[in-house]
Structure 1
Amino acid sequence: MLKLLIVSDEESKYIWDHFDPNRFKDIDLIISCGDLKPEYLSFLVSMIHAPLLYVHGNHDAKYQTSPPEGCECIEDVIVQYKGLRIMGLGGSYRYSPGEHQYSERQMRRRITKLKYKLWRNKGIDIVVTHAPAYKIGDGEDLCHRGFECFVELINKYNPRLLLHGHQHLNYGRNQRIHYLNGTQIINAFGYYIVEI
């Protein structure tokens, strides 16, 4: 059993300002689903002493010139960690000019490019995204719309977890966890600890 700390969208004052090492001493892996300051991710990886994997959120243009130190970007790749196959697909639905925004077609193309690696790895355990899946904890506006291809990905490969951010729980969406065909879908807003 591995314990994961998942984070997204809002730096936790509880962690950053009042860090308690005992609360996080048994964390095996940190996963960021985007839209966090690079300094915050560097702080997490140095204080918790666990590897940190991340994808970009739609507000992470700063990462190009100042990437989080000691952390690994998993955009468009599948990595293995202690037997877990982890795939990264950051960014949001395209709603304006800017980096890390994709149309449905563009996101589907990104998944298609990983099909050989999905086959070679015999599937996937965790999908890390920034945007949610379509109609599963997403928003009504274009900016917060989820991707239909994420639903297709879940239905085809049945990962154990899909972790996302982007949809702030304080937007009135109070449900952090959803399920689809056995896949647990978790909104990483703020922070959350999950075992797998």
Structure 2
Amino acid sequence: MQSSKYLSTSCSMWRIVFLFAVLHSANSNPITSCEKLETSLVREATTFGKRALSESVKLLQRIIDAAERLEPNEMDRIILDEITTFIERASHKVDFEELNDLLIWLMDFLDLYYHDEQDDSPELEEAEGLVDKLMRQFGFDTFEKNLEKQLYMFIERTEDHIEAYLRRQNIKETELPKWFTDFKDESDIEIKYLMLEDIIADLDC
């Protein structure tokens, strides 16, 4: 997973909030096709993100509870404190921008864990910390695989939205068709997620 972040601007976030308000207002004027696309992408991203966070919080909380009954060392305590902070943030109502920040933290966390998991030698297992052992015990490998499947399905749905929009619109002069070609050609699913976050922020409707 990549550690670079595509951050949305405050202006873009307010525009997205406005779009949701417009969609749910029965007396509002019709919105443009671009605004419908933007809102559809935000809705898909929000649905995926909330589900991923909900499932990760449940699993990480089990690790926290189990660790508290044992004797975490100083390094384990640092990791557990980071996990606790993540759980606290993810357990509250979050806006679209914070939702993405939390997902990026989760991706980086899984990246670090699975980097270490590449070497499953007995020496590594003997030297691994308490948090690593608990992650093995509670099936973080299965969780990561399921999360990746959900991410693939989410990306496929967003591609359908964008492709349908491009078929309807005569926008060859904009950057979106070229971006979409690059997006479809990208093989790394997590880079595609970050590219999608970027285009949501940059859509000029």
Q: TM-score, normalised by structure 2?
A: 0.25
Question: Which structure has greater helix proportion?
Answer: 2
Question: Which structure has greater strand proportion?
Answer: 1
Larger gyration radius, structure 1 or structure 2: 2
Higher RCO (CA < 8 A, seq sep 6+): 2
